[in-house]
Amino acid sequence: MPMPTLMEIRDAVRSGRVGAREWIDRAIGSIQRLDPQLRALISYDGDRAMDLAEQIDEQVARGEPVGPLAGVPVLIKDNICTRFGRTTCASRILENFEAPYDAHVVQRLESAGAIILGKTNLDEFAMGSSTENSVWFPTRNPWSLEHVPGGSSGGSASAVAAGVVAGALGSDTGGSIRQPASFCGITGLKPTYGRVSRYGLVAYGSSLDQIGPLTRDVADAALLLQVIAGRDPRDSTSVDEPVPDYVAGLDRPVDGLRIGLAREYFGAGLDPEVRAAVEAAIAEFQAAGAEIVPVSLPHVKYAVACYYLVAVAEASSNLARYDGVHYGRRAERPQDYIDVYCSSRQEGFGAEVRRRIMLGTYALSSGYYDAYYLKALKVRTLIKRDFEEAFRLVDVVAGPTSPSPAWRLGEKLEDPLAMYLMDIYTVSANLAGIPGISVPCGFTQTGLPIGLQLMGPHFGEPRLLAAAGLYQRRTDWHTRVPPLASAAAA
């Protein structure tokens, strides 16, 4: 049975065929059936969701207009602040944190009629690529419970792939929407830096972070982006750039599409099955009439090194606010006031977060600043220029989202560097501030999904979505459902 999309659910609610309460009921049913295995959710509030659903159903019954996501259950990553429930960032230090306000994207979703059913699991403070760095529990991949769902938005990706909801929000600092989307066989979009307000997103790397959708297909990604995009005076980095009609744009023909291929995205370390699937996807574009153009991105070989300096430097500064005084957990029996800070942070942060705070503090410290942080900023500019040059020649740059499919739980936990290297293809888009999307483009022999990444120029989402949409009209990878979910639906 194919799983309904956001648009199908919304249409069913609007027409009164299947009401919002029914959709919430179904979503809660699948949480109860599937989540004990997947562990995609940190928390959910079925009663609150039911109350909101009832209001939508009444509005429909009275013939009142309802929003573009009326009655649609969605989930959001647990680093996005909500007035209801807790916002834990999967960290001990925020385990009881109740945000006093709603994030901008939460307000946007709710005023569009969406019903936020709960909050999804992540790597602590979004630091990781596997959702194993959560203080709560690791999340599992619905295609194989032995494998990670990717990260850090692994809970959102796992829940959408399993059909618990049709859409969810994640955040992407270095790949955390696109990589879990590719591992779980769904669509994930990181918008242009500044396209979506980060007000109410718990900061990790402020010059890199963006919120974006995880959905079954490109049309739904366009719809969610439509709802959350646009200027918000509460986030000074959100840009006052008109929000085009992303959804209507998908129906326009994609004439004269030029796809850039960079040798640097097909180098050593790329899994042969991933390479084959991505090459087949590019052949599909060629068959659809797109022109394939070689481009050169000579500096992306430094992207991982550059990213792991910029991101950890910003993280060390952003995480200074968790001091046991202003926010979150405080050590139980501190010896003195210095110990309040030290013990609260020692107890409150997990190993990976502590590692990054130390690396970032080191990179920013006097004497090392020029050698590390400043140099990384310069390399960042070179990477940005590489993409500017490429986008003079092409509309999108195509390649793999991740060099490998999902790995087994625990496989990379002892080797942080091996885990960092897995981000090789995703971090550049964040460093350059450009949009990127991952769409499913095949499976390994063992049945694990593979993702194709497309990247576009700043605010190039319309053409990026159109290219990804063209691919999905010609292929059916995005309609595949993991066996666990189809068994549950039967």
Instruction: Work out the number of other CB atoms within 10 angstroms of the CB of residue 24.
Output: 24
Kindly indicate which of the ranges 120-128, 257-265, 279-287, 327-335 contains the residues binding ligand GLN, using the contact rule CB under 6 A. Answer: 120-128
Q: Structure tokens of 212?
A: 């974006």
Kindly indicate which of the ranges 16-24, 45-53, 122-130, 364-372 contains the residues binding ligand GLN, using the contact rule CB under 6 A. Answer: 122-130
Site string for ligand GLN, 293-312 (x = CB under 6 A): ------------------x-
- Minimum distance of ligand GLN from residue 396's CB (angstroms): 21
- Minimum distance of ligand GLN from residue 488's CB (angstroms): 29
Beta pairing class for 449-455 and 396-400: antiparallel
Is 77 a catalytic site residue?
Answer: yes
- Minimum distance of ligand GLN from residue 430's CB (angstroms): 7
Residue 403 sits in the site that holds ligand GLN (CB under 6 A): no
Under DSSP, is residue 457 helix (H, G, I), strand (E, B) or coil? coil
Site string for ligand GLN, 174-213 (x = CB under 6 A): xxx---------------------------x---------
- Minimum distance of ligand GLN from residue 406's CB (angstroms): 14
Nearest to 95 by CA among 320, 318, 322, 321: 322
Instruction: Work out the number of other CB atoms within 10 angstroms of the CB of residue 418.
Output: 12
Kindly indicate which of the ranges 93-101, 113-121, 123-131, 232-240 contains the residues binding ligand GLN, using the contact rule CB under 6 A. Answer: 123-131
Is there a contact between 186 and 215 (Cβ–Cβ < 8 Å)?
A: yes
Residue 172 sits in the site that holds ligand GLN (CB under 6 A): yes
- Minimum distance of ligand GLN from residue 234's CB (angstroms): 21
Phi, psi of 179, rounded to the nearest 5 degrees: -70, -45
Nearest to 287 by CA among 476, 471, 436, 454: 471
Burial 383-400 (b: 16+ CB within 10 A, else e): bbebbeebbeebbbbbbb
The DSSP secondary structure of 339-380, one letter per residue, reads HHHHHHHHHHS-HHHHHHHHHHHHHHSTTTTIIIIIHHHHHH
Residues 417-476 that bind ligand GLN (CB under 6 A): 423
Is 176 a catalytic site residue?
Answer: yes
Dihedral over alpha carbons 74, 79, 83, 85 (to 10 degrees): 80
- Minimum distance of ligand GLN from residue 456's CB (angstroms): 18
Kindly indicate which of the ranges 55-63, 169-177, 277-285, 437-445 contains the residues binding ligand GLN, using the contact rule CB under 6 A. Answer: 169-177
Under DSSP, is residue 115 helix (H, G, I), strand (E, B) or coil? strand
Is there a contact between 176 and 430 (Cβ–Cβ < 8 Å)?
A: no
Pick from 126, 295, 363, 488 the residue near ligand GLN by CB under 6 A.
126
Residue 258 or 355 having the CB closest to ligand GLN: 355
Residue 152 sits in the site that holds ligand GLN (CB under 6 A): yes
Residue 319 sits in the site that holds ligand GLN (CB under 6 A): no
β-bridge mates for residue 168, sequence order: 75, 214
- Torsion over CA: 79, 83, 88, 94 (sign): positive
Pairwise CA distance, residues 463 & 358, whole Å: 41
Residue 343 sits in the site that holds ligand GLN (CB under 6 A): no
Residue 129 sits in the site that holds ligand GLN (CB under 6 A): yes
Pick from 6, 13, 105, 127 the residue near ligand GLN by CB under 6 A.
127
Pairwise CA distance, residues 377 & 335, whole Å: 40
Under DSSP, is residue 215 helix (H, G, I), strand (E, B) or coil? strand
Residue 128 sits in the site that holds ligand GLN (CB under 6 A): yes
Is 30 a catalytic site residue?
Answer: no
- How many residues touch ligand GLN under the rule CB under 6 A: the total is 13
- Check 158, 176, 197, 438 and give the catalytic one: 176
- Torsion over CA: 481, 129, 104, 192 (sign): negative
Under DSSP, is residue 388 helix (H, G, I), strand (E, B) or coil? helix
Question: Which residue has the closest beta carbon to ligand GLN?
Answer: 176
- Minimum distance of ligand GLN from residue 451's CB (angstroms): 15
Instruction: Work out the number of other CB atoms within 10 angstroms of the CB of residue 244.
Output: 15
Q: By the criterion CB under 6 A, which residues form the site for ligand GLN? A: 126-129, 152, 172-176, 204, 311, 423
- The catalytic residue positions are 77, 152, 176
